[in-house]
Structure 1
């Protein structure tokens, strides 16, 4: 039954959901462009074409909007990563494909590079989020490395924790170089290729860097 907040029933709900998605997309772009601290809710609402009170109806605070932006991007990336794993790619191959996709989404790279730097401050609303995100990423990578060591696919002397942290540091550093090189003369940094070259050395993976195919396409077996 329709309610006062949604006089058109399901149609009103769908319209509200679309507006919420538009707000998240605009906030994603703006947080990436100027950082969280410099972003203005009024500017975001203007970009979306709604009033400031209208935006606050969906997201009462800027911290609420930031949380929604981060959750939205993580859900999308996790779905694609899981689809690659289920399609036959191993962990590191799927990681390279994620970086390949990011090279087609400069706004996302800019967002995470900007926010992760800001969030080193303990008072930042995304501080705990990025702490947890790094912990989860390093834990997953360390588990994969330990599995490869056990299977004889990586040297027994490999330190799983330091190797995992080095890969994450490489990925973060490549994003900065890639962003800075977008308007520079000369060859641009190919994040996916550099990551792949490194993983070929430390994890013995092999694949061809290219624009990612749909997850439903045939995928190579684990190298």
Structure 2
């Protein structure tokens, strides 16, 4: 029960709330623009138009286009945080895949920026390089743990299973973008895991 003698802190309001709301709206608009056109082709003016503000208003909150991109990527990560936490490899992956399909534009954004970022000069290159390394490491650790429990098939290498799982997930999402009524991401992930794990 809350202590009645302690007054609750004031809710965010006034200019602070407006600033936070404006930043969130700009990030949402940028997410749509970058998902549709990519980072290189999507312009600050397109973001401003989509958000209903001036270009200078966007630059007031994000002084450079790169700052806006990094904010969009951070927002993307926050939207997926804790979806798979504590669920284990199979349930966690399926929960994350199903969550991604329900967030408008998130898979388009990820796939578009991931493809663009292959170039070392792209501002998201380091982000995706680190992300793939972390995913391979995390999934590798989970597959090794399953091997220790006797749940991984004996002829399956945990590291190769991890990199293959990451590759499948990204690839099947790309196919889903082209045929969302035909391709089932979570079913494809379940099938892959059924091939490498003991029943």
TM-score when scaled to structure 1? 0.80
Gapped regions of structure 1 (runs ≥ 5): 1-8, 206-223
Aligned residue for 2:103?
105
- 2:69 pairs with 56, 66, 70, which one? 66
Structure with the higher helix share, 1 or 2 = 2
Aligned residue for 1:213?
none
RMSD (Å), alpha carbons: 1.5
Does the Cα contact within 8 Å between 2:90 and 2:193 map onto a contact in 1?
yes
Aligned residue for 1:195?
189
- 1:13 pairs with 16, 19, 29, which one? 16
Q: Alpha-carbon deviation of 1:49?
A: 1.2
- 2:114 pairs with 92, 113, 116, which one? 116
Distance in 2, matches of 1:125 and 1:12, equals 31
Aligned residue for 2:157?
159
State the Cα deviation string for residues 87-142 of structure 1 (Å, max 9, x = none): xx322211111111222235111111110000000000000000000011110000
Aligned residue for 2:7?
none
Gapped regions of structure 2 (runs ≥ 5): 1-11
Aligned residue for 1:50?
53
Aligned residue for 1:140?
138
- Name the count of aligned residue pairs: 188
Q: Alpha-carbon deviation of 1:10?
A: 4.5
SS in 2 for 1:37: helix
Instruction: Show structure 1 runs of 4+ deviating over 4 A.
Output: none
Does the Cα contact within 8 Å between 2:36 and 2:109 map onto a contact in 1?
yes
After TM superposition, the structure 1 stretch with the greater mean CA deviation from structure 2, 26-35 or 151-160, is 151-160
After TM superposition, the structure 1 stretch with the greater mean CA deviation from structure 2, 153-162 or 106-115, is 153-162
Which one scores higher on RCO, CA 8 angstroms, separation ≥ 6? Answer: 1
TM-score when scaled to structure 2? 0.89
